[in-house]
Each structure stands twice: as structure tokens, then as C-alpha cells.
Amino acid sequence: MFEFFYKRVHFTFAIIFAMFIFGIVGLKEMPKNLFPDSSRPEVVIFASLPGGSSEVIAKTLTKPIEEEMATLSHIYEIKSTSSSNFAIIRVIFDYTKTLKDGAVDVTNALQKVNIPKEAKTSIYLVGDFTAPIDVFSISSKTLNMSEIRRVVESYLKPKLLSSPYIGGVDVFGGYVGSVKISIDVNKLKKYKISFSQIIKALNSFSDKPIGFFNNNGFFTLTFYGQEDLEKLKKLYISKNLMLKDIANVTLSYNENSSLYVGNTKNSIAVVIQKPIGGDLIKASDVAREIVKEFNKEYKNLDIEISDTQRNLVETANINMLEALRDALIFTSIVILFFLTNLRALFAAVLSIPMVFLGTISILYLFGYDLNIIVYTGIILALGMLVDDAIVVLENIERHLEEGDENFIYNGTKEVLGAVFSGTISTIVVIFPLMFVGGYPQRIFEPLILTLIIALILSYFLSITFIPIIAKYLYKNGAKKTKFEIWLDNLYKNTFAKLIGPYLAIFDFATKSVIRRVLLTIGAILILVMSAKNILPTVGRDLMPPMDTGIMKANIEFSSNYTAKESLENLKPFLDWLKTQKWVVKSSLAIGTEPGVLSIGGGGSNSASITIEAVNRFKRDKSIWELEREVRDKLAKLKEVKNLAVFDYGATALSTISAPLDVQFRSDNYENLPILANKAKKILKDVKGLTTLKTTWDKDFYEIRIEVDKNKALNFGVTPIDIISQIALKNQAIGVYTKIPSLKSELITLKFDKKFENISSLKTYPIITKKGVVPLNLLAKIKPVFNYSRIDRYNLEYAIDVLGYREKRPISKITDDANRLLKENKITNYYQVGDVKEFGEAFGRLIKAVGFGVIGLILTLMIVYRSLKLSLIMIVILPISLIGAWFSLLIANKPMCMPAMIGILLLFGVIIKNAVLLIDFYQEFLKKTTPYLAAKESIKVRFRPVMMTAFSTIAGMIPIALEWAVGLERLSPIADIAIGGLLVGTFLTLVYIPIYAYSFYKR
């Protein structure tokens, strides 16, 4: 390859130019996100059965649907929540199944399920793309909420959905418009009309419209369709009885089970989602432009952005480019210090943007997106990128100083084997992560792929571009400037003096086998003792916490709270939030709406709050300190049942409910709340937990009607006949609209007199064959406490105790929780939080390390045709972990997935340096004795080995110091690599020559 490109200069530069062009295009066009999509494929089934309690829903809807879903292939887990009137079943597949295939399987399986015919089901696809990228908060001083919602759903939502860059649009906030028919119960009794007769008459009523008209940019709800409302009022229920005779017909909205407050203003929320695999920034750009044009037309609407991921993604991308710049500067300083040559520095640094843009171009052509993982891969590779170029340049200059007339060709040719061996060895070490499977592969595959591409391009440029550019740089020889001479003297008087101690250690060890054995045993003992003492101290985590500037709060009030009551309780907190200067945006969603999964969740007593703070570089307090303030304020509100305040990304995956999740399962749900509440009290003593909550309880107050069958039959009615006459909740009957562009309004029925307490409900009139009788004559009516909701997990009833933390490692929290539960004789539970995913991921990563090391041994054995030499190079890898463990302790970071990636990266750099030493040892061995060959390899390769290590360390400094938003998640990669390199490089120069001298003397 070298000779081919060396002789074809124009062809070489054409390839480099093409990489530049595609790289620049890729930087502009590649989809931009914070992290790659890593959630498992998930299909959500929404099943509704009006009037059903959580128990009825769990037994008649949730259980049969779950049992059918369990027959599908590649199921990872099935979760469900059964509440009054509806159930949400989450079918989560493993990574081997695509979301599309999962949706098809669920749809087909749903058709086989035997559920009540009154029940309705729908399915939704869920993933990282479900999360809101922008939430528009829409309010008005001249229009009410119902009117705002009508125009949003009729005009704005269709425009947004028409864009291919927008994946989904949810409208949330209650005030769902409807034509409300309020029935007078006493008139029903007077005219002996049943509820079913009214429904039958309304079902025969054809679509009749009402709507809006546009007046100079303002829209106004008009009743020019009043004649149609009049027709509805005059609808005959019986021969001589019209609807208006027994009911009040008005245009209104359904009772709110959900509300929205954006930036502390009552609003309707419009939630924007990106397409699957789409570009977050592009989707946001398009959505904002459409909303801007819409607002020009409807100027009486106040539109604000109350929640967004865009700021976070843009800040992270800018920070990462700045970190890349800083890494380049630090690396350049290191290279200059060691090479003491401005021309070599120019050539080496010039190769960096080529590798960067080349890597981006390949990722772009293969359809990858640009995110913090990709940027991290490029920064991590930075030190290694210049390594190949440095080795070539340093050898070219050495040949020039020795008077070689063909110094460029011979200097490059001599190190081709070492450069190739080092590159391929590094790739082999990290390559298994591409196929390790599960969450580790999904989240880190882009990073490993980026590293591999960058390493290959670095190798390519070092043997093509570097020799070509060297022709011009060294055409007048290698005479140094005064500055270069000063640098050279600085190097010789500092770092170069370390060569002496290295040679002294080598001489000390080679005088006796016992000394070499003692040196080896000493290193092994330090490794074992450091691992034994440090790893338990730092703890383990799936992913470290990060300060993105976004916090989440979930709060539950008394189970019987309405959405309006929940909002009223939150007003003191909202008033306080307005005064906080660190708040940029806030989004408050109360309750749930059918089919809306991007925002809200829970009953009308539940509120989900998202607060965006100024980014961490512009504030004095960490996100965890701000969370404490928010938590304290929320805890002071009235009738708070459950409260959790946590940072955005508190769990690595959206399918993990909380960092600590203690789950109890049973075939019988009745005793589960007792167990959970007992565990909750015990777990309050766990250090590091900020809040604890149980997922459900038996605390929902309701009125139960038990029909006496004998009495019912005596009056000529069945229990079903009685139930069908009781309409305490809104009931949808038909559709009512006029203008095609407007969303249809539901026609709903509701009795004008509320029967929400026992005394009034007893007088509820029931029409029987013997006349109208009060309900209490046919049934017992009594108040009871029922389950607010019922959860299930993998076909069993389940309840969870969820624990949230700040920064303490999850392994320590889990260990403390297990200890306390065991002390209190609670053993029948499961840990399903972060620690479950960590156990699976850790197992996969251990396999990746194992396969990487085995692959490395085989590769080195093939390259050097010696198993003995490959083992000599491999033995240094575990010893280098001494520095890795101490770096975690100093940086106060847990052992986590990024740390495991850091170990593989460390092994790649260490083995590259070992290859340089062994390669030159072999060459010198042909000319002299093993003793002199080993000493000469130390002298000659000291500078490039040190330069490789310290340039890699310099490039990792911005990651280790977390100079970008989101880098907290990935900084352990750099921590491990830096600590390991500092110790491992020293040990490489000590042990590799010693072992080579001792075991390989051919």
C-alpha cells in the first residue's frame, strides 16, 4: 500500500480531498442528537373499558392481553398498569427484534385476545423518539382553553404532521371539546324514559357541524351552526318527547382528567416528536418554523416553548467541538515537546483534521448520526491518531540524521510493520464490543466504530500523506531553529533523563532471576490489593449521573384528587418557581390522555414536572443542589402522597423506573401494598437515597354498588339493566362537526344532578317493569377503599418501591437495601433497577474484554510468528490496571460501563507501545545480543512510547475534566485510560524489555 500511494501523489490527494468534502457535508447534514437511540423496541397497548375499576381492568383486560403477548418471540419483559377505565400494557422486545416487526406481532396477537366487546384497544410505538424534542405552550387572553384546543387540533397539528421531518405530534392539556347533553333525572322519571332510549336516538343523529371562521388573523368560536344544535335539541326521543324536554344541550368540553401549565401559565401543550432515527435539530427547526407561521395567522395566541431537548443537544455539540479544539491544542503541545520539531508538528497536526473529517464522511455515508458518543470517540482517538504519524516522522528524521539519502522511503518502510501491528492490535482489542449485544453494544457501537475508522484512517495517512508531505518539509534538510534547539535541550534535561533510571532498573533485574521474579510478584500483589480495596470503595454503576441542567419531578396527591384540585395544590410551588432566576423553562403535565405517551402519565392526582435550568457552566449550584430546593418546596404542599425529584437521565434506559427498584411479585395482589409499604419504611435508612415511593396502594375512595339479584328479578330487571341506567361519568355517543378542516366534537351524556355521595345515590331512579324505584331498593351502596392502580410484571402482579439518588453509586445503595431488608426478614423481592441492567451489561463487557485479549494474542502470534512474544506483550495489560483503579479513586468515579470501555481503550494503547518495543527489539536482536538489544530498544523507543502515551493523555483531558454537557456519563473512559497510561507506560518500559530478554533470545 505504501509504495502504491507513494508513487501516486495526485491519487492520494484526490482521496484526501474527497474525505474533506464529504466530511464537511456530513457535519452539516448528519442527524444531531444527544446520545444514540438505545431503548429496546417497545410497543404499548392502550386498552379502555369505561366504568371498570382497576381490579376489573386487571382481570378482564390486562391479564388476557399479557398472556397472549407472552407467546410472542424475543420478548424481553412485559409490564402493565391497570387503572380505573383503562390499562396500559408495555411489550418490550430484546434488541434482536425490530420495532416494526414487534408492532406487527403485537397487532396480530391482539386480534386473538378474548376481552369484553365494549373494550377498545390501540397500539403505539415507543422508543427514544417518543420523548418531546419541543413542547409548545399555547395560551390566549381572548380565548378559552377549549377554543384553543379546537384550533390547535384542527389547524396546527395537521400542518406539523405533514412534515416528513416530524415523527409525531401530541396535543395535551384537557379541555377536549364536546357537545354536552345534561339529562334531568327527574324528567326521565316523569316521562319513564331509559338511558338506552336516549342513546339509541342520538346514534341516529347524523354528523352536524359547528366551527370557526377567520377574521383578520383572529379566530372566533361561532354558533352559526346553532340551527344544527337546535335540530339536536329537537331530536325526538319518543313519539311526543324531544331531547330538549329532558336535557340541556350545550357546546362545552369533557371534564378534565388532564391539565397543562407551561412556563407557569395555564396552556394547551403541543408536543413535537422526531421520526424513528430522525434528526432532533431538523425536526425542531421545521416545527418552530411551522408554529411561527401559524402564530402570524392567529395572533391572539401566545405561544412559548416550555420544554425542549434542543438547547441540551446544541450546547453539548458546541461543547464537544470546543473540547475537540482544546484536545488538539494539548496534543500539539505534547508532540512539540517530545519531537522538538515544528515541521514534524505541522505534518502530524495537519493529519488530525483529515482523520476527523474522514471519519465523519464515512459515518455520514453509512447513515449514522452525530452525537456526544461519536465526538467522544474522535477525541479519545486524537492521541492515537497522531501516534502513527509521529512514529513515521520520527523514524524519517532519524534516517535523515544518519545520512540516509533515501531517508523518506527507507524511514517509512522500516516502521511499516510496527505501525500496522500497533493499529491492528488496537482494533482487535476493541472490536468485540461491536458484537457484544444488549445495551452495551447499542450505546457504545458508534464510539467503537468511530475509533476503528479513525485508527484505520490514521494508519492510511501515516504511510501515504506523511511521507509525501515530508518530501516538502525536509527538502532542505533537518536543521533546527533556535526555538527547536531550546526545546530539544529542555526535553533532554527533563524527560530524557528518565532513560537512565529505566536502564538501571533493567540492569538490576537482569542480574538475577530472583530479582525478576520479585519484580513480577510485587506488581501482581499491588494489582490484587488495589482491586480488592479500591473497587469496593468506588462502587459500581451502570452509567454515572450527569448534570444536563434538566430535572424531573413526579408528585402524587390524594388518590381521589381531580386534575383541577391537583393544579390548585401546585400553585404555591408555581408562584415560587416564577421567582427563580436559574429557571429557563418549566413544563407541568397533570394526568393522562388516551394515546399520549410523550407527556403526562398517571391519574388526575399525578403531576409530572420538567424544569430546565441554565447550563452548569453558567450557574453556581449543581443540578442536585437545585433538586433539593425543588424537593423541599414540593414536600410542603398539601396532601402529598408520593414525591420524586431527579435529574434527567437518572436511569440509563427509559424502561428502568428508578435507580433503585425493589419489586414484589405474587399471583395475588391483595398483600402486595402491605409488603411494599413495610419495605419503604425500612429503606428510608439507606444512605444516598433522596426520595422513596411505592407505585400503588389501596387508597382510592369509591362507592360500591352491590345489586341484589333476587330483588332485581322481582322488579323485572337484571343487574345489567340496572347498570346500564347508571351514568355517573361522561359517555361518548356520536360525532358532531360542520367544517371538514375542524376536528370532530364528541357528543357526550351526563346527568345534570351529580350522584357522587351515598345519600344522593340512594335516590337514583331506576326504571323497572313495576315502575320507577330508587336504587337503594335494589342494591347495597357502601363506601370502600380500592386500588388506585394495579401493576403487573411478566404475568405476575407486581408492586415496586422506587428509590432516587443523587450521586452515590447504585451498587452501594443496593447492597445497603439488601442488607436492611434481610435484617428485617424480607427476602421475597427482586432488584430490577439499574443494578439488574448493570449485571447483564457487565457480563457482556467481561466477555468482550476476554474475546479482545484472545484475539490480540492470536493476532500478535500471527504477525510475529511467535506465541512467546505475543504473551510477553500481553502480560503487561493486567498490570496496567493498577493505575486505572487508582484513577477511579482519585476522580471519585464508580466502576461502570464507560470505565469498562476505558479498560479496552487502555489495553489498545498499551499494546501499541509494547509492539513498538518488541518490534525494535527483534530488529536489534539480529545485530547484537539479547541484553544489548533490550537496552537499545529502551533508548530508541523511549521517546515515541512516551509521546504516544502523553499525547493520548493530553487528548483525553477535556473528557476527564467534563468540559461538555453530558460528558459526566463518559468521563470514566478517560479517567481509566489516563491513570492506566501513566502507570502502564512506566511498567511497559520496565517489564517488556525484561521479559523479552528473559524469554526470547533468538
Burial 699-723 (b: 16+ CB within 10 A, else e): ebeeeebebeeeebeebebebebbe
pLDDT of residue 653: 81
Q: Among 270, 809, 785, 355, which residue's Cα sits nearest to residue 545? A: 809
pLDDT, tens only, 252-288: 666 668 899 999 999 999 999 999 888 999 999 999 9
* Relative orientation angle of helices 310-339 and 280-297, to the nearest 10 degrees: 140
pLDDT of residue 210: 29
Other CB atoms within a 10 A radius of the CB of residue 681 amount to 12
Cα→Cα distances 256→270, 392, 397, 603, 982, Å: 17, 72, 78, 11, 62
Rg of the chain taking only CA atoms, in angstroms:
35
DSSP SS3 for 574: helix
CA 678 to chain centre: 32
Q: Is residue 690 within 8 Å of 806, Cβ to Cβ?
A: yes
Q: At 702, is the pLDDT very low, low, confident or very high (cuts 50, 70, 90)?
A: confident
Q: Is residue 186 within 8 Å of 760, Cβ to Cβ?
A: no
DSSP SS3 for 741: coil
Q: Among 895, 834, 797, 841, which residue's Cα sits nearest to residue 655? A: 834
CA 518 to chain centre: 48
DSSP string, 443-497: HHHHHHHHHHHHHHHHHHHHHTHHHHHHHHHTTT--PPPHHHHHHHHHHHHTGGG
Rounded distance, CA 555 to CA 522, Å? 55
**pLDDT (mean) for 807-822:** 95
Q: Is residue 462 within 8 Å of 388, Cβ to Cβ?
A: yes
Report DSSP state, residue 742.
Answer: S
pLDDT of residue 741: 40
pLDDT, tens only, 554-589: 999 988 888 899 999 999 999 999 999 999 999 999
pLDDT of residue 177: 66
Whether residue 673 has pLDDT greater than 80: yes
- Residue 85 Ramachandran class (φ > 0 left, ψ -120 to 50 alpha, else beta): left
Rounded distance, CA 665 to CA 791, Å? 10
Rounded distance, CA 996 to CA 69, Å? 60
Rounded distance, CA 474 to CA 407, Å? 10
Rounded distance, CA 549 to CA 625, Å? 11
Burial 267-295 (b: 16+ CB within 10 A, else e): bbbbbbbbbeebbbbbbbebbbebbeebb
Rounded distance, CA 685 to CA 828, Å? 20
Q: Cα 21–22–23 angle (5° rounding)?
A: 90
Q: Is residue 320 within 8 Å of 27, Cβ to Cβ?
A: no
pLDDT of residue 904: 87
Whether residue 225 has pLDDT greater than 70: no
pLDDT of residue 215: 33
Amino acid in position 746: L
pLDDT, tens only, 595-633: 888 998 888 899 999 999 998 889 999 999 999 999 999
Q: At 419, is the pLDDT very low, low, confident or very high (cuts 50, 70, 90)?
A: confident
Which span out of 399-408, 646-655, 817-826 was modeled with the highest average pLDDT? 817-826
Rounded distance, CA 412 to CA 994, Å? 28
**pLDDT (mean) for 810-825:** 95
Record the cell numbers describing residue 515, joined without a space: 530479582
Whether residue 536 has pLDDT greater than 50: yes
- Where is 992: in which H helix or E strand? helix 971-999
Rounded distance, CA 66 to CA 330, Å? 56
Q: Is residue 664 within 8 Å of 829, Cβ to Cβ?
A: yes
Residues 6+ apart with CB under 8 A from 406: none
**pLDDT (mean) for 765-787:** 82
pLDDT, tens only, 292-304: 999 999 999 999 9
pLDDT, tens only, 16-31: 899 989 999 998 889 8
Whether residue 723 has pLDDT greater than 80: no
DSSP SS3 for 553: strand
Whether residue 220 has pLDDT greater than 50: no
Cα→Cα distances 399→308, 405, 408, Å: 58, 8, 8
Q: At 205, is the pLDDT very low, low, confident or very high (cuts 50, 70, 90)?
A: low
pLDDT of residue 254: 62
Start-to-end Cα distance in the chain: 30
Whether residue 966 has pLDDT greater than 70: yes
Q: Is residue 423 within 8 Å of 389, Cβ to Cβ?
A: no
DSSP SS3 for 105: helix
**pLDDT (mean) for 60-81:** 95
**pLDDT (mean) for 463-474:** 85
**pLDDT (mean) for 440-458:** 90
Neighbouring-strand partners of residue 607: 555, 590
pLDDT of residue 214: 33
Sign of CA dihedral 836, 840, 845, 847: positive
Amino acid in position 669: Y
DSSP SS3 for 138: strand
Whether residue 591 has pLDDT greater than 50: yes
**pLDDT (mean) for 538-546:** 91
Whether residue 788 has pLDDT greater than 80: yes
Cα→Cα distances 178→143, 254, 259, 730, 736, Å: 17, 6, 17, 10, 8
**CB-count exposure of residue 393 (10 Å: 0-12, 13-18, 19+):** buried
Q: At 62, is the pLDDT very low, low, confident or very high (cuts 50, 70, 90)?
A: very high
Amino acid in position 520: T
**pLDDT (mean) for 459-488:** 84
CA 492 to chain centre: 49
**pLDDT (mean) for 823-844:** 91
Percent with pLDDT over 90 in the chain = 43
Q: Among 907, 930, 926, 925, which residue's Cα sits nearest to residue 860? A: 907
pLDDT of residue 471: 83
Task: Please tell me the pTM assigned to this model.
Answer: 0.83
Whether residue 748 has pLDDT greater than 80: no
Record the cell numbers describing residue 645, joined without a space: 425529584
Burial 316-336 (b: 16+ CB within 10 A, else e): bbebbeebbebbbebbbebbb
Whether residue 218 has pLDDT greater than 50: no
Q: Is residue 515 within 8 Å of 872, Cβ to Cβ?
A: no
pLDDT of residue 255: 64
Rounded distance, CA 831 to CA 658, Å? 11
Cα→Cα distances 871→70, 426, 866, 995, 1000, Å: 49, 16, 9, 10, 11
Whether residue 217 has pLDDT greater than 70: no
Average predicted confidence (pLDDT) for the chain: 86
